[in-house]
Amino acid sequence: MTPADRGPGTIQPGSDTQADLTDPVPVYPVMLSLAGRRAVVVGGGSVALRRTRALLEAGANVVVIAPSVVADLAELPVTVLRRRYRDGDLAAAWIAHAATNDPDVNALVAAEAERRRIWSVRADDATASAAWTPAVTRHGDVTVAVTANRDPVRSQRLRAAIALALAEARLPIRRSGRRRHGWRPAAALAAAGRQPRCSVAGTGSVALVGGGPGDPGLITVLGRRLLAEADVVVTDKLAPRSLLAELDPDVEVIDAGKEPHAHNLTQGQINELIVARALAGKRVVRLKGGDPFVFGRGGEEALACVQAGVPVEVVPGVTSAIAAPAYASIPVTHRGITQDFSVVSAHLDPSHPGATVNWAALAETSGTLVLMMAVAHLDTVAAELIKRGRSATTPVAVISDATLPAQQVLTSTLGQVAADSASAGVRPPAVVVIGEVVRLRELLVGAELEAAS
218-268 residue pLDDT tens: 999 889 889 888 999 999 888 998 888 778 778 899 988 755 545 578 999
Per-residue pLDDT at 187 exceeds 90: no
Q: Shortest CA distance to 270 belongs to which of 258, 279, 259, 280?
A: 258
Average pLDDT, the chain: 84
Q: Stretch 59-67: mean pLDDT, rounded?
A: 96
For residue 43, which amino acid is it?
A: G
Q: Regarding predicted confidence, which is higher, 113 or 124?
A: 113
Q: Stretch 109-126: mean pLDDT, rounded?
A: 90
Dihedral (Cα; 349, 353, 357, 360), 10-degree rounding: 90
| pLDDT for position 453 | 55
| pLDDT for position 348 | 87
What architecture is the 38-167 domain classified under in CATH?
A: 3-Layer(aba) Sandwich (3.40)
| Cross-strand bridge partners of residue 41 | 64, 97
Q: How far is Cα 118 from Cα 96, in angstroms, rounded to an integer?
A: 7
pLDDT band of residue 179 (cuts 50, 70, 90) is very low
Q: How far is Cα 383 from Cα 226, in angstroms, rounded to an integer?
A: 44
| pLDDT for position 449 | 57
Q: Regarding predicted confidence, which is higher, 420 or 448?
A: 420
Cβ–Cβ < 8 Å for 194, 108:
no
Q: How far is Cα 410 from Cα 371, in angstroms, rounded to an integer?
A: 14
Name the catalytic one among 5, 124, 236, 291: 236
| pLDDT for position 4 | 33
User: Residues with Cβ < 8 Å from 335, sequence gap 6 or more?
Assistant: none
Name the catalytic one among 89, 258, 288, 291: 258
| pLDDT for position 136 | 84
List the domain boundaries for the chain. Answer: 38-167, 186-318, 322-449
| pLDDT for position 200 | 58
Cβ–Cβ < 8 Å for 224, 315:
no
Environment class of 45 (CB within 10 Å of its CB; exposed 0-12, middle 13-18, buried 19+): middle
Range with the poorest average pLDDT among 207-211, 254-258, 358-362, 449-453 = 449-453
288 is catalytic: no
Q: How far is Cα 120 from Cα 130, in angstroms, rounded to an integer?
A: 6
| pLDDT for position 177 | 47
pLDDT band of residue 211 (cuts 50, 70, 90) is very high
Range with the poorest average pLDDT among 13-17, 322-326, 340-344, 430-434 = 13-17
Cβ–Cβ < 8 Å for 162, 136:
no
For residue 128, which amino acid is it?
A: A
Per-residue pLDDT at 446 exceeds 80: no
Range with the poorest average pLDDT among 16-30, 90-104, 130-144 = 16-30
DSSP string computed for 82-144 = -S---TTTTTT-SEEEE--S-HHHHHHHHHHHHHHT-EEEESSBGGG-S----EEEEETTEEE
Q: Regarding predicted confidence, which is higher, 254 or 449?
A: 254
Per-residue pLDDT at 182 exceeds 70: no
Class of the CATH domain delimited by 322-449: alpha beta
Q: Stretch 91-114: mean pLDDT, rounded?
A: 94
Q: What is the CATH number of domain 186-318?
A: 3.40.1010.10
Q: What are the angstrom distances between the C-alpha of 204 and each of 234, 310, 443, 449?
A: 15, 7, 51, 51
Per-residue pLDDT at 270 exceeds 50: yes
Range with the poorest average pLDDT among 37-41, 152-156, 409-413, 416-420 = 152-156
| pLDDT for position 427 | 92
Cβ–Cβ < 8 Å for 359, 333:
no
Residues 282-308 as b/e (b if ≥16 CB within 10 A, e otherwise) read bbbbbbbbbbbbbbbbbeebbebbbeb
pLDDT band of residue 166 (cuts 50, 70, 90) is confident
Q: What are the angstrom distances between the C-alpha of 203 and each of 8, 277, 287, 300?
A: 35, 9, 20, 20
Q: How far is Cα 9 from Cα 5, in angstroms, rounded to an integer?
A: 11
How far separated are the first and last CA of the chain, in Å rounded?
54
Q: How far is Cα 206 from Cα 229, in angstroms, rounded to an integer?
A: 12
Q: How far is Cα 217 from Cα 302, in angstroms, rounded to an integer?
A: 25
Instruction: Encode pLDDT of 81-91 as tens digits.
Output: 999 999 999 99
Q: Residue 168 in 3-state DSSP?
A: coil
Cβ–Cβ < 8 Å for 258, 237:
yes
DSSP string computed for 367-383 = SEEEEES-GGGHHHHHH
pLDDT band of residue 6 (cuts 50, 70, 90) is very low
Q: Regarding predicted confidence, which is higher, 174 or 281?
A: 281
Q: Regarding predicted confidence, which is higher, 275 or 158?
A: 275
Question: What DSSP state is assigned to residue 75?
Answer: T
236 is catalytic: yes
Question: Mind spelling out the 3-state secondary structure of 32-60?
Answer: CCCCCCEEEEECCCHHHHHHHHHHHHCCC
Environment class of 386 (CB within 10 Å of its CB; exposed 0-12, middle 13-18, buried 19+): middle
Please tell me the pTM assigned to this model: 0.64
Q: Regarding predicted confidence, which is higher, 115 or 151?
A: 115
Other Cβ atoms within 10 Å of 450 Cβ, number = 8
Question: For residue 431, what is the enclosing H or E element?
Answer: strand 430-434
Per-residue pLDDT at 196 exceeds 60: no
| pLDDT for position 377 | 93
For residue 7, which amino acid is it?
A: G
Q: How far is Cα 293 from Cα 302, in angstroms, rounded to an integer?
A: 10
| pLDDT for position 7 | 32
Q: How far is Cα 276 from Cα 295, in angstroms, rounded to an integer?
A: 24
Kind of pairing, strands 395-400 and 38-42? unpaired
Per-residue pLDDT at 275 exceeds 80: yes
